[in-house]
Chain A
């Protein structure tokens, strides 16, 4: 785990040495800020609802954008060879990269706490459901980041990595919205796979183990796939 931490620190720092992270964060805040303020006064309700409705859509693009370079860039520049010949296991590398990307995603959410504070000045706020919605967003980001890492480990082309992870994430997100077109026996299964279904239930303020198991098992499977994809160089 010490090695994962070393990689985590380097990766996180490298996000912030280039302007990309700042630009993405600013764009993220402009979009959520606009949805927050514009709905707040129209509806006249003290709620974070509009923000939590829009963020899952932004994540569809945002997570592929921040995770596409994780392995692709190293494959392209050849630094992956340096990394994989250090006395560390492939899985430690995957964990380090996963945690750094997820941390960046979570850090992006931090400034939106300002919205919560400004709501507080207007009246009583339901902190319970807001906190659980934040947890839900982090879990959802977690599963998307794992998809992004896996896609990035497959190719040295960042654009390909972006498109592949976007497609997979989009399908995961859309599954519970096409249920009316699906034969009845498949409905509950597709619903279970859908990332948004679980997020909606957490965002309502219910932290159900069923949802937690979904996110954690999904992340584990995808991270193991990523590790396998790194090992495929040896085949």
Chain B
């Protein structure tokens, strides 16, 4: 139940869309495939689903070669293409029956498979409606249901939440997490929160090349620079601005202290600490010892967004 991609390349005419990429997705992993638009995410997914053939390299799904045995590989894969294409004139149940038949689900277990997907994907209320009448969120559920109807080992979702409203996005993400529990799941997206919300691991791709590959935590650690701590301190008539700064500067490992705003009741201070050292406790103790009131303290983490921007521009 794994995907193994080795030295994969794909040309569109003379333009190279995917450049010699290799990666592996292990059983049970949820991997986010992240990259700006046009980075080669969809192309790579289409090659894994055998819709396109690579110019170079190999793809193994469950140790089956995708180019030698495309039909066997397709049986293992559930796929939701970009834009979620559906037969608009069919109703939900008919469509799921049709997909199940094409996925060679045994005839006697089709009704159960359809019933199960309707339940899991929350389609009970709309199951007899035509797909064209459904809202975008429900259409997306139908798309997910058709991808999973044959209980595939590997699920590939190409931008599963694009075009949904925030509530729908949260619902679909939850659904993906639930469904992905015992599956190998790979989803592509250009939305960073999506990866943080749903994935165990992230592969960042840019211009057809993999630029980062790791868990979100490990990526954040390895790209972490100096920590910036943001403080809001209540004004106290006993202390002036200068005095506060000099007091904060005495904290061990504090490198730079800067008051960034100064209003009627409080100071907002940014404090930069030496790389890799947590000074939050020291700051708290210091301010307490000065008998001042700390209104707010938080440490800016290097967000995935920063990493993404660093890697893809």
Binding site for B on A (CB under 8 A): 3, 6-7, 10, 14, 17-18, 77-79, 81-89, 233-234
Assess whether B140 is interfacial by the CB under 8 Å rule: no
A89 near B71 (CB under 8 angstroms)? yes
Bound CA–CA A234/B83 (angstroms): 21
B101 near A82 (CB under 8 angstroms)? no
Other-chain residue from B50, B53, B79 in contact with A82 (beta carbon distance below 8 A):
B79
- Least CB distance, B100 to chain A, in whole angstroms: 10
User: Contacts of A233 on B, CB cut-off 8 Å?
Assistant: 51-52
User: Contacts of B77 on A, CB cut-off 8 Å?
Assistant: 85
Bound CA–CA A81/B156 (angstroms): 13
A6-B98, A234-B53 are known contacts. Are A78 and B88 too (CB-CB below 8 A)?
Answer: no
Central interface residue in B72, B90, B102, by most chain A CB within 10 Å: B102
A77 near B90 (CB under 8 angstroms)? no
Assess whether B9 is interfacial by the CB under 8 Å rule: no
- Least CB distance, B232 to chain A, in whole angstroms: 51
Bound CA–CA A158/B83 (angstroms): 21
- Least CB distance, B309 to chain A, in whole angstroms: 30
Assess whether B16 is interfacial by the CB under 8 Å rule: no
Bound CA–CA A10/B72 (angstroms): 24
Chain B, residues 22-58, CB within 8 Å of chain A (1/0): the string is 0000000000000000000000001001111100000
Bound CA–CA A17/B90 (angstroms): 9
Bound CA–CA A188/B256 (angstroms): 95
Bound CA–CA A89/B82 (angstroms): 22
Bound CA–CA A234/B103 (angstroms): 22
Assess whether B286 is interfacial by the CB under 8 Å rule: no
Assess whether B74 is interfacial by the CB under 8 Å rule: yes
Can you show 5 pairs from A to B with CB atoms below 8 A apart? A3-B104, A10-B90, A78-B81, A79-B87, A85-B79
A6-B98, A10-B98 are known contacts. Are A17 and B89 too (CB-CB below 8 A)?
Answer: yes
B89 near A77 (CB under 8 angstroms)? no
List 10 A-B pairs, minimum CB-CB distance, nearest first.
A78-B85, A87-B74, A234-B53, A87-B75, A86-B102, A79-B85, A85-B49, A6-B101, A81-B81, A87-B71
User: Contacts of A81 on B, CB cut-off 8 Å?
Assistant: 46, 51, 81, 85
Other-chain residue from B49, B79, B86 in contact with A79 (beta carbon distance below 8 A):
B86
Binding site for A on B (CB under 8 A): 46, 49-53, 71-72, 74-75, 77, 79, 81-83, 85-90, 98-99, 101-104, 146
Given contacts A6-B98, A82-B85, 11 further A-B contacts (CB under 8 A): A10-B87, A14-B90, A77-B85, A78-B81, A81-B81, A82-B79, A85-B49, A85-B79, A87-B71, A87-B102, A234-B52
Other-chain residue from A10, A77, A79, A85 in contact with B74 (beta carbon distance below 8 A):
A85
A3 near B102 (CB under 8 angstroms)? yes
Bound CA–CA A88/B81 (angstroms): 17
B103 near A86 (CB under 8 angstroms)? yes
Other-chain residue from B88, B89, B102 in contact with A88 (beta carbon distance below 8 A):
B102
Bound CA–CA A86/B101 (angstroms): 10
- Least CB distance, A173 to chain B, in whole angstroms: 32
- Least CB distance, B97 to chain A, in whole angstroms: 9
User: Contacts of B104 on A, CB cut-off 8 Å?
Assistant: 3, 87
- Least CB distance, B147 to chain A, in whole angstroms: 9
Bound CA–CA A57/B94 (angstroms): 37
- Least CB distance, B85 to chain A, in whole angstroms: 3
A78-B81, A234-B52 are known contacts. Are A87 and B72 too (CB-CB below 8 A)?
Answer: yes
Among residues of A, the one whose C-beta sits closest to the C-beta of B53 is A234
Among residues of A, the one whose C-beta sits closest to the C-beta of B85 is A78
Bound CA–CA A77/B75 (angstroms): 23
User: Contacts of B86 on A, CB cut-off 8 Å?
Assistant: 77, 79
Bound CA–CA A78/B46 (angstroms): 13
